[in-house]
């Protein structure tokens, strides 16, 4: 029986400093996970540094791997936006399970089997890594901790979302669910994750959260205040009645 093909997308924008090391580390780790075939897809979105050049080199070299179980490719979008990158990447993939993780690999790769098992063994349509579950282990500053818990409170109260941690960069989705949901997601930025989960819940898809071991990246380039404002605008849009 042919092992299932799993896509692991790395959405990147101006990540020349860590892309090569992270992609190589990910490829080496996946090569040891023989229960699946793997596709690593580096989705560059709007980079103005050498990120795209590095991504092309990685794809050409196959991330330095000599394995039929791991394939690495790259794609480029002119416009920045994690959501847009994920939509384009997932819609271009033939994998049965589509996933993504942050390029800094803040989530321990040892958590990946648990994420995928939620779909392959437990019947979930979407699996979501959560830093806010009792069994999760996180290392991050108080500011991001407070903002994360505040955002969790907002989306649970305003949108009725049962997921605690909508924004953790560690998710997987069954291909059939993605084909239905992705065309409905309007946001192409950081709010993409929340909107995808809200639409999935409203449509009756099964969403499962799994605990993660997560370490904050001190060099993160995410601008908190603009991101928070766009998230609030996204929440307001999803609260408005359709039509």
Q: How many degrees, rounded to 5, is the angle at CA 85 between CA 82 and CA 29? A: 85
* Global pTM value: 0.93
pLDDT of residue 241: 62
Cα separation of 46 and 85, whole Å? 10
> Which one of 78, 193, 216, 231 is the catalytic residue?
193
Domains and CATH numbers, the chain: 5-239 (3.90.550.10)
Q: What pLDDT digit, counting tens, does each position of 15-49 carry?
A: 999 999 999 999 999 999 989 999 999 999 999 99
DSSP string, 3-62: PPEEEEEEEESS-TTTHHHHHHHHHHHHHT-TTSEEEEEEEEES--SSHHHHHHHHHHHG
Active site residue 193: yes
Q: Which residues contact 179 (CB under 8 A, 6 or more apart)?
A: none
pLDDT of residue 77: 97
Cα separation of 56 and 45, whole Å? 13
- Give pLDDT < 70 ranges for the chain: 63-67, 218-224, 241-243
pLDDT of residue 243: 46
pLDDT of residue 209: 98
């Amino acid at each position: 029986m042919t092992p299932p093909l799993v896509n692991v997308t790395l959405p990147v924008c101006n990540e020349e400093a860590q892309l090569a090391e992270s992609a190589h580390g990910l490829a080496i780790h996946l090569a040891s996970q023989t229960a699946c075939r793997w596709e690593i897809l580096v989705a560059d979105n709007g980079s103005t540094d050498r990120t795209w050049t590095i991504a092309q080199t990685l794809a050409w070299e196959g991330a330095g791997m000599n394995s039929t179980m791991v394939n690495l490719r790259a794609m480029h979008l002119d416009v920045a936006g994690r959501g847009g990158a994920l939509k384009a990447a997932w819609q271009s993939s033939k994998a049965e399970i589509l996933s993504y993780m942050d390029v800094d690999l803040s989530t321990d790769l040892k958590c990946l089997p648990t994420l995928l098992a939620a779909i392959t063994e437990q019947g979930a349509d979407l699996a979501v890594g959560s830093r806010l579950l009792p069994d999760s282990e996180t290392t991050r500053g108080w500011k991001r901790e407070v903002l994360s818990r505040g955002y969790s409170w907002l989306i649970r109260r305003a949108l009725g979302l049962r997921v605690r941690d909508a924004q953790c960069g560690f998710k997987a989705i069954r291909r059939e669910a993605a084909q239905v949901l992705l065309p409905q997601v309007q946001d192409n930025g950081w709010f993409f994750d929340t909107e995808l989960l809200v639409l999935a819940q409203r449509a009756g898809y099964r969403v499962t959260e799994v605990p993660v071991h997560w370490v904050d990246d001190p060099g993160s380039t995410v601008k908190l205040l603009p991101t928070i404002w766009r998230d609030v605008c996204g929440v307001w849009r999803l609260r408005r009645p359709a039509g």
